[in-house]
Amino acid sequence: MAFIIKPLVTEKMTKITEQTSVPKRLRALNEKTAKAKNAVEEKRSFVVKHKGKADVTKEKTVWMYEKPAAPQYAFIVRPEANKLEIKNEVEALYNVTVESVNTMRYAGKRSQRYTKAGLVKGHKSAFKKVIVTLKSGDEIDFYSNIE
């Protein structure tokens, strides 16, 4: 049973995918975290200026580590699909390894507009959105089958 209705390729989601596809340099807050993340110690010097006094140069130690890239992609899926079914289907369709699946339910919204014929009422459908995080190095190319 196909649970994925369509991939969500919007400008906003493409920007999120591009940001998550690049490894990030982050700062560990303390030594304990630095040891856990195998962070590298860096010394940073800065100048402290006081009014009426000489400038003082101080040094600060920071621990920097690199968080590997974990690209994220979004899909619109059937509302009854669960995370395991979505994960299995994405892995089967795109030959990638899925690390995590985050789901969001959106309620249908009422809408109305004024026309020559009078007030037209309706509603937009409810849907379920999924953000899939892939293993670093994996990638989904939605445009590969377009000629």
Q: Domain segments of the chain: what residues?
A: 4-23+69-134, 26-67
Q: Sorting pLDDT into bands at 50, 70 and 90, what band is 145?
A: low
Pick the range with the lowest mean pLDDT from 23-32, 81-90, 92-101.
23-32
- Residue of 136 and 130 predicted with greater confidence: 130
pLDDT surpasses 90 at 136 = no
pLDDT surpasses 80 at 147 = no
Average pLDDT estimate for 51-62: 89
- The rounded distance, in Å, linking the Cα atoms of 61 and 30 is 10
pLDDT surpasses 90 at 2 = no
Domain 4-23+69-134 sits in CATH at 3.30.70.330
The token pair that represents 119 in the structure block: 């007030």
- Non-local CB neighbours of 130 within 8 Å, separated by 6+ positions: 74, 75, 76, 77, 81, 86, 101, 102, 103, 104
Percent of the chain scoring above 70 in pLDDT: 97
Average pLDDT estimate for 32-52: 89
Q: Read off the pTM.
A: 0.70
- Residue of 137 and 122 predicted with greater confidence: 122
Percent of the chain scoring above 90 in pLDDT: 41
- The rounded distance, in Å, linking the Cα atoms of 38 and 80 is 42
The model's pLDDT over 19-31, given as tens digits with 9 standing for 90+, comes to 888 888 888 888 8
